[in-house]
């Protein structure tokens, strides 16, 4: 007879570990199964970890977690061929407790975080792939792994197996992605001395900076690039929806090369040495792509449930919070001795009451709008750079005249009515 646990969690990323930790703390028997050599060994992230959702799980985690730098500055660049229009915020209050967010390297962070679930009593097994869920009379009763005699049973199985989630596909929770529902992102970790990072990004030790880059970074396609500072390395990456990649015949590694050699970026990387090259999908379908998240004996959390807010680059925090909510719901189900879908729907309801579904709902039409109307990325972003160049170039033209020139050039190219329609449509998508 296979061994039985209260809960089996598949995947020790932020979502799975948060759920395992929550359940183990309540005294449940938890098995956390990870296919990687150790948690984080296979995981990819631009690197911004949000304080709030992590603190809900481990108060004052920053005192012991392997973090890179607290982020004190967030910059946004609209990039054209030889320019950037830049805006952002830098605040020293983000550099002191309780902080706002941090850069992290997932290989270190996930390992530490999973260790916390183990300390709370969860059993972690690495280098083990869950190949399928075991289903009996319409209820998930456990999992099969790639180990000899690798069947394990549980009252509840938590699918925290990330964006591809073959297991939720097996259960029919979601289908294959459409190419506009996922972004393909490539990134590189570039080693650079702490002093050079501080000098180039105007930082001191233990201060970090993030730059989100739009426009020419994706050659005008729907997507973004990023450049984040770690202690003594930089994370640089770029991604677009798979549909944009296909349509524009983009090759992800060529996009990254293009970005690294862009005149606005290259000096920031100069002298750095490439340490790691990674590629990963991000679920970006948003609200409309969130599948069913609870069934008989099973719940789905994190990227496996498509819980990513691409506009605000929030994924790891949604993963953690969904893991926490799933954990609380499983504890309630245990108290009731009932693991049916209707009981586990407590998790679905908590998710809908939380910032996660509320935020996804707010932006539910954004991805579709920007995908369907490419002029926002292809035409308006370069126009913004052109307008700023015109406005800030001192050439004796009166400022009111410059304003008129800018408005005229935009409306002459596109027509006043179309510009107004485009503004209204964009506002509706993000309001």
* Strand pairing category for 294-295 and 298-300: antiparallel
Smallest gap from Cβ 284 to ligand FAD, in A, equals: 10
Smallest gap from Cβ 75 to ligand FAD, in A, equals: 14
> What part of residues 197-236 is at the interface with ligand FAD (CB under 6 A)?
none
Cis peptide before 197 (omega within 30 of 0): no
Cα gap 426→431, rounded to integer Å:
8
CA distances for 427 relative to 50, 292, 422, 430, angstroms: 27, 29, 9, 5
Cα gap 329→23, rounded to integer Å:
9
Considering the complex, state which of residue 250 and residue 410 has its C-beta at the smaller distance from ligand FAD: 250
Considering the complex, state which of residue 33 and residue 294 has its C-beta at the smaller distance from ligand FAD: 33
HSE of 353 in the Cβ direction (CA atoms, 13 Å)? Answer: 8
> What part of residues 67-86 is at the interface with ligand FAD (CB under 6 A)?
none
Check residue 327 for interaction with ligand FAD (CB under 6 A): no
Smallest gap from Cβ 225 to ligand FAD, in A, equals: 10
CB distance 132 to 170 below 8 Å: yes
Using alpha carbons, select from 222, 225, 212, 289 the residue that is nearest to residue 259.
225
Smallest gap from Cβ 170 to ligand FAD, in A, equals: 10
Question: Which residue from 215, 223, 237, 382 is in contact with ligand FAD, where contact means CB under 6 A?
Answer: 237
Provide φ and ψ at 183, rounded to 5°. Answer: -110, 140
Considering the complex, state which of residue 11 and residue 208 has its C-beta at the smaller distance from ligand FAD: 11
Question: Which residue from 20, 154, 160, 324 is in contact with ligand FAD, where contact means CB under 6 A?
Answer: 160
Considering the complex, state which of residue 55 and residue 422 has its C-beta at the smaller distance from ligand FAD: 55
Q: Is the dihedral of CA 363, 367, 373, 374 positive or negative?
A: positive
**69 backbone φψ class: left, alpha, beta (φ>0; ψ -120 to 50):** beta
Smallest gap from Cβ 248 to ligand FAD, in A, equals: 19
Q: Which residues contact 78 (CB under 8 A, 6 or more apart)?
A: 84, 85, 86, 214, 215, 381, 384, 385
Query: For the chain, what is the radius of gyration of the CA atoms?
Result: 23
Residue 280: in which H helix or E strand, if any? Answer: strand 273-283
Considering the complex, state which of residue 196 and residue 313 has its C-beta at the smaller distance from ligand FAD: 313
Question: Which residue from 5, 6, 26, 36 is in contact with ligand FAD, where contact means CB under 6 A?
Answer: 36
Smallest gap from Cβ 346 to ligand FAD, in A, equals: 20
Cα gap 146→54, rounded to integer Å:
32
Smallest gap from Cβ 329 to ligand FAD, in A, equals: 17
Considering the complex, state which of residue 84 and residue 157 has its C-beta at the smaller distance from ligand FAD: 157
Residue 103: strand pairing partners = 48
Considering the complex, state which of residue 230 and residue 385 has its C-beta at the smaller distance from ligand FAD: 230
Check residue 185 for interaction with ligand FAD (CB under 6 A): yes
> What part of residues 266-325 is at the interface with ligand FAD (CB under 6 A)?
280, 282, 302-304, 308, 313-317, 319
Question: Which residue from 19, 33, 264, 429 is in contact with ligand FAD, where contact means CB under 6 A?
Answer: 33
Determine how many CB atoms are found less than 10 A away from the CB of residue 219: 18
Provide φ and ψ at 405, rounded to 5°. Answer: -55, -45
Question: Which residue from 161, 181, 212, 359 is in contact with ligand FAD, where contact means CB under 6 A?
Answer: 161
The residue to which tokens 């939720």 are assigned: 168
- Count of residues that bind ligand FAD according to CB under 6 A: 39
Considering the complex, state which of residue 156 and residue 410 has its C-beta at the smaller distance from ligand FAD: 156
Alpha-carbon torsion, ordered 298, 302, 303, 308, to 10 deg:
140
Considering the complex, state which of residue 185 and residue 240 has its C-beta at the smaller distance from ligand FAD: 185
Q: Which residues contact 337 (CB under 8 A, 6 or more apart)?
A: none
Residue 388: in which H helix or E strand, if any? Answer: helix 381-392
- CA end-to-end span of the chain, whole Å? 55
Of 32-40, 89-97, 269-277, 358-366, the segment contacting ligand FAD by CB under 6 A is: 32-40
> What part of residues 37-56 is at the interface with ligand FAD (CB under 6 A)?
39, 42-48
Question: Which residue from 7, 8, 9, 15 is in contact with ligand FAD, where contact means CB under 6 A?
Answer: 15
Binding mask 81-120 for ligand FAD (x = CB under 6 A): ----------------------------------------
Give the binding site for ligand FAD (CB under 6 A): 10-16, 33-36, 39, 42-48, 129-130, 160-162, 185, 187, 237, 280, 282, 302-304, 308, 313-317, 319
């Amino acid at each position: 007879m296979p061994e039985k646990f209260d809960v089996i969690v598949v995947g020790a990323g932020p979502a799975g570990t948060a759920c395992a930790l929550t359940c183990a703390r309540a005294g449940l028997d938890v098995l956390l199964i990870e296919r990687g050599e150790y948690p984080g060994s296979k995981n990819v992230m631009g690197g911004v970890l949000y304080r709030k959702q992590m603190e809900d799980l481990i108060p004052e985690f920053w005192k012991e977690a392997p973090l890179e730098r607290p982020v004190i500055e967030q910059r946004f660049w609209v990039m054209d061929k030889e320019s950037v229009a830049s805006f952002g915020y830098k605040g020293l209050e983000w550099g002191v407790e309780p902080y706002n967010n941090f850069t992290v390297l997932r290989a270190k962070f996930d390992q530490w975080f999973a260790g916390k679930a183990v300390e709370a009593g969860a059993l972690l097994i690495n280098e083990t792939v869950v190949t399928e869920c075991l289903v009996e009379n319409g209820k998930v009763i456990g999992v099969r792994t790639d180990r000899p005699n690798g069947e394990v049973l549980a009252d509840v199985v938590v699918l925290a197996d990330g964006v591809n989630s073959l297991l939720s596909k097996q259960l029919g929770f979601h289908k294959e992605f459409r190419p506009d529902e996922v972004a393909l992102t490539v990134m590189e970790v570039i080693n650079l001395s702490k002093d050079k990072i501080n000098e180039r990004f105007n930082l001191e030790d233990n201060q970090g900076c993030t730059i989100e880059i739009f426009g020419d970074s994706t050659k005008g396609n729907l997507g973004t690039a990023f450049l984040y500072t770690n202690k003594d390395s930089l994370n640089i990456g770029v991604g677009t929806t798979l549909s944009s990649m296909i349509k524009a015949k983009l090759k992800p590694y060529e996009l990254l090369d293009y970005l690294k050699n862009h005149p606005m970026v290259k000096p920031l990387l100069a002298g750095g040495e490439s340490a790691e090259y990674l590629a990963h999908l991000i679920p970006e379908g948003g609200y409309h792509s969130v599948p069913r998240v609870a069934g008989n004996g099973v719940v789905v959390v994190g990227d496996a449930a498509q819980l990513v807010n691409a506009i605000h680059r929030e994924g790891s925090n949604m993963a953690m919070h969904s893991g926490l909510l799933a954990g609380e719901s499983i504890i309630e189900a245990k108290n009731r001795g009932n693991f049916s879908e209707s009981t586990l729907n407590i998790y679905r309801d908590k998710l809908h009451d939380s910032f996660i579904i509320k935020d996804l709902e707010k932006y539910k039409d954004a991805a579709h709008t920007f995908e369907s109307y490419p002029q926002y990325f292809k035409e308006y972003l370069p126009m913004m750079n052109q307008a700023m160049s015109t406005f800030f170039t001192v050439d004796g033209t009166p400022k009111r005249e410059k304003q008129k020139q800018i408005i005229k050039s935009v409306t002459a190219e596109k027509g006043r009515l179309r510009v107004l329609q485009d503004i209204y449509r964009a506002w509706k998508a993000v309001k």
